[in-house]
Structure 1
């Protein structure tokens, strides 16, 4: 196991339990106490956990992990979700993608899809994004036309935010917006951790004919700080496991199609 893999698993452990001791870390990750202390020191220096006497505790629920630490979380589920979401895109569609690990997987699926390559050599799909990492990855795909919004970059997520994003998007009409979220609940609908990113997602939703949320099961019945939209402003939810009954009922009442990725 590499150090990055250990750090990812350690963050996952702290997030799940809230508080962990050195002994619990050693048992869960099969590492020595000395290695556990060094890894905790690394995470604490980056302000990702809080050191306690003999262990560590999670930061508040409003804290946002940097994107590189989110990549390993629910990785297999996100790939399956991405494949199912990419199947909703047709040749010549214009697609809005916000930032995040799941939408990054969707972008990869769209980028390598032979189905979206046109025989006449023209662009098979247009991707509009505020995520710098998505734009960078897709820039080498000949069948993908990339449009990047303006805005100010957020270091945590590589997303552009601010009024320049709205100025760009209000001049567009998209076939579909595929949005990653941090929470989905009956009362608050789709939410995310940062108000600037919530505003961008709202703008994507306003200019798209169809709004698709891609979210793994850990996001269900969870609420985070900034609201994107209520459930009735969504058209499709793509997830990896059956949705909890109360939320599934509310989504059905709102007319949202639920797709469970195979």
Structure 2
């Protein structure tokens, strides 16, 4: 048993997340036994059990203020933002959701011709005001202090009357089984409306977001077209995402 536990922890250290069925095949033992192993290892504080597997970090995330989030993974966010900015074509209409990674993306946009941007984020709109070529449609509604963004019925009404080329969205968690999540249920609902209004859904998320879950579910992974993340993501995760038909860009 101890050797099996070591193999599980070694794999977890390499890949950050492991799945019961994969471990069962690799270690040639039953899924029931693997689940017992994971429970014992969790009791020792060596991992966190998740749906169908385990993670090195607590998969459940809490709401944090945007100023706090801006101070973490800053270089990764800048790289992701630069890669995302290359996907913005001239004469497009795009939606930019809220979050610190999409704020970095807004700072990286340098349009030479007209660009229409719909956004729920006040800080994104303020950043884009510096560009005369960008026409901004600021969604209205209740303002969330922690995210500096709006949610609610009025914002959703505007989205129901729009159709855009691309949605650039940040998330609090990406789980291969559960999908995309955020910490606020009203923001998740607004994000769902954004997805319906966009022809292409592009997720901007650093590698720390994978294997995490927020309270509000946004969508399943089959609604995502493209994920831009940083190079520290586990190769196994990249393969699984690409196997699902999602374009993955490593910035």
TM-score bucket of the superposed structures, by smaller chain: 0.7 to 0.9
Q: Secondary structure at the match of 2:158?
A: helix
The equivalent of 1:66 in structure 2 is: 65
Who is 1:33 aligned against?
none
Match of 2:90 in 1: 91
Kindly indicate whether the alpha-carbon contact (under 8 Å) linking 1:178 and 1:213 is maintained by their aligned counterparts in 2.
yes
Q: Deviations over 1:85-123 (max 9, x none)?
A: 11011001111011110000111111xx1xx213xxxxx
Of 227, 232, 235, which residue of structure 2 is paired with 1:237?
227
Partner of 2:79: 80
Residue 60 of structure 2 contacts residue 213 of structure 2 at CA under 8 Å; is this kept in 1? Answer: no
Q: What's the Cα RMSD here? A: 1.5
Q: Distance in 2 between matches of 1:148 and 1:156?
A: 18
Give the gaps of 5 or more residues in structure 1: 1-59, 119-123
1:220 aligned onto 2:210: yes
Counterparts of residues 1-262 of structure 1 (less than 5 Å): 61-110=60-109, 113=110, 116-118=111-113, 124-241=114-231, 243-261=233-251
Assess if the C-alpha contact under 8 Å between 1:185 and 1:247 holds in 2: no
Per the normalisation by structure 2, the TM-score is 0.74
Distance in 2 between residues matched to 1:107 and 1:202, nearest whole Å = 21
Deviating beyond 2 angstroms after TM superposition, the runs of 4 or more aligned structure 1 residues are 60-63, 242-250
- For 1:187 and 1:109, the matched residues in 2 are separated by 32
Deviation at 1:65, TM superposition (A): 1.2
TM normalised by structure 1 equals 0.71
Q: Deviations over 1:166-197 (max 9, x none)?
A: 10101001100000001111111111111111
8 Å CA contact retained: 2:165, 2:198: yes
Q: CA deviation at 1:140?
A: 2.7
172-181 or 183-192, larger mean C-alpha shift: 183-192
